[in-house]
Amino acid sequence: MAPTLPSSDQASDQDNWDNGRLARKRQLLIEIVLRNRLTALVVDGDTTCRVLEQLLLRSYGVQTQGVDNGRDAVALIASGVKFDLIIIDMILPVLNGLEATRQIRDMGVHCKMLGVTICSGESERQAFLAAGVDVFIEKPLDPEHLVPILRELDGQ
Amino acid sequence: MDLAALKTQLKNFVQSMFEEGVLDNQFSQIQALQDSTNPNFVEEVITLFCNDAERIINEINRNLGYQNVDFSNLDSYVHQLKGSSSSIGANRLKLACANLRQASDERNKEGCLQALQLITCEYCLLRRKFQALLHLERSIVELETNQK
């Protein structure tokens, strides 16, 4: 149901619920408007994580693709597909995130890469940054981290 | 029960899950992503998560049943479960995964088995609460549909 402003002085409980939910949504998701059509690749072996990260990006108007292992990510990039943003987990099936990141960078790809992983130790962080990610984020990916990056990519 | 009362019951039920530490703020983000273009998003994500979690817990159980445990394989499963728990906001389950991760790092099979017991308990609790939450959501959708 689309939220509507109350038509009378006394809003119904349902109107209050819907307006409250919309306000909360805006607050939680930090609304931004992108001027450009951005594209992103999400590389995560876990389906729940991958689906959620893709949907979060799509809620901001980012066109996304997802793959579930490092080898497919490298192959996709090698085929010539370009992305403004790559979000990649550290531990991946087939080819791990560190090696996949190195191979992507070795291909001359300079797009923004976010290492989003459950590993939170300093050694993991340093290793991922050394492999070539620009930003290291501990899961879950949230709007507070993502929105400034999207604004930067959008040239805002 | 009328629609407003059902919605209040759902809101209070979710709030109780936050207060018990079963869920954290990440779940609020997921709820916020549900709208008219994704009306069943919360149910779909919960279903996806539960299917994955059960598969992973079964795999961990199977791995720990071997005399020689492949701890690197175990690490990969724990990583997945901790990641998806974190992404859906399953706070207590995420914390339980940390215990298993530590035991696995120490190559401590007995410790892993104990940690797995806790993970299984936390997952069963979470699943029960998610089932109750989805039952309330479906009742709300049914009432809203009937009122149109």
DSSP string, A59-113: HTT-EEEEESSHHHHHHHHHTT---SEEEE-SS-SSS-HHHHHHHHHHTT--SEE
Could A118 and B86 be called an inter-chain contact, meaning their C-beta atoms sit closer than 8 Å?
A: yes
Q: Which of A148, A51, A124, A86 is nearest to B33 (CA)?
A: A51
Domain housing B100: 3-12+41-146
Residue B63 in any domain: the answer is yes
Q: Do A139 and B83 make contact, defined as CB atoms within 8 angstroms? A: yes
Residues in contact with B90: Cβ distance below 8 Å, sequence separation at least 6, in sequence order:
B22, B23, B27, B49, B126
pLDDT at A30 over 90: no
Question: Tokens in use for A156?
Answer: 């805002």
Is residue B26 in some structural domain?
no
Supply the pLDDT for residue A7: 39
CA angle B58, B60, B63 (to 5 degrees): 110
Nearest CB to B33 within list A55, A91, A139 = A55
Domain extents in chain A: 8-153
Parallel, antiparallel or unpaired: strands A112-117 and A63-67: unpaired
The distance of B87 to chain A (nearest Cα, Å) reads 5
Residue A118 to residue B29, Cβ atoms within 8 A: no
CATH number at residue B122: 1.20.120.160
Contact list in B for residue A17 (CB cut-off 8 A) is 4, 7
Query: Residue B145: is it exposed, middle or buried by C-beta count within 10 angstroms (0-12/13-18/19+)?
Result: exposed
HSE, CB side, 13 Å, CA atoms: give it for residue B63. 23
Q: How many domains are there within chain B?
A: 1
Name the residue of chain A whose CA is nearest to B49's CA: A48
Distance from A14 to chain B by nearest Cα, in Å?
A: 6
Sheet containing strand A39-43, edge to edge, reads A63-67, A39-43, A85-88, A112-117, A135-138
Cis peptide before A140 (omega within 30 of 0): yes
User: Phi/psi of residue B114, each to 5°?
Assistant: -65, -45
Q: Is the ipTM of this complex over 0.90?
A: no
Q: A8-153: what fold?
A: Rossmann fold (3.40.50)
In this predicted structure, which of A4-8, A67-71, B103-107, B119-123 has the lowest mean pLDDT? Answer: A4-8
Distance CA A85, CA A79 (A): 16
Q: pLDDT tens-digit profile of A80-135?
A: 999 999 999 999 989 999 999 999 999 999 999 999 999 778 999 999 999 999 99
**Contact, B113 vs B64, CB < 8 A?**
yes
What the block records as the tokens of A152 is 């930067």
CA distances (Å), B69 to each of A154, B72, B98, B104, B105, in order?
Answer: 48, 9, 18, 10, 12
Query: Which residues in B lie closer than 8 A to residue A47 (C-beta atoms)?
Result: 48, 52, 84
Interface test with B, best of A52, A142, A146 (most B CBs within 10 A): A52
A13 in B contact zone (CB under 8 Å): yes
Residue A118: list chain B partners with CB under 8 A: 79, 82-83, 86
To the nearest whole Å, the CA of A65 is away from the closest chain B CA by: 18
Who among A48, A139, A142 is closest to B49 (CB)? Answer: A48
Tell whether B110 is covered by a domain. yes
* pLDDT, position B40: 86
pLDDT of residue A6: 35
How high is the pLDDT of residue B117?
Answer: 97
Residue B72 belongs to a domain: yes
Over the range A12-44, which residues count as b (16 or more CB within 10 Å of their CB) and which as e? eebbebbeebeeebeebbeeeeeeeebbbbbbb
Confidence of residue B62 (pLDDT cuts 50, 70, 90): very high
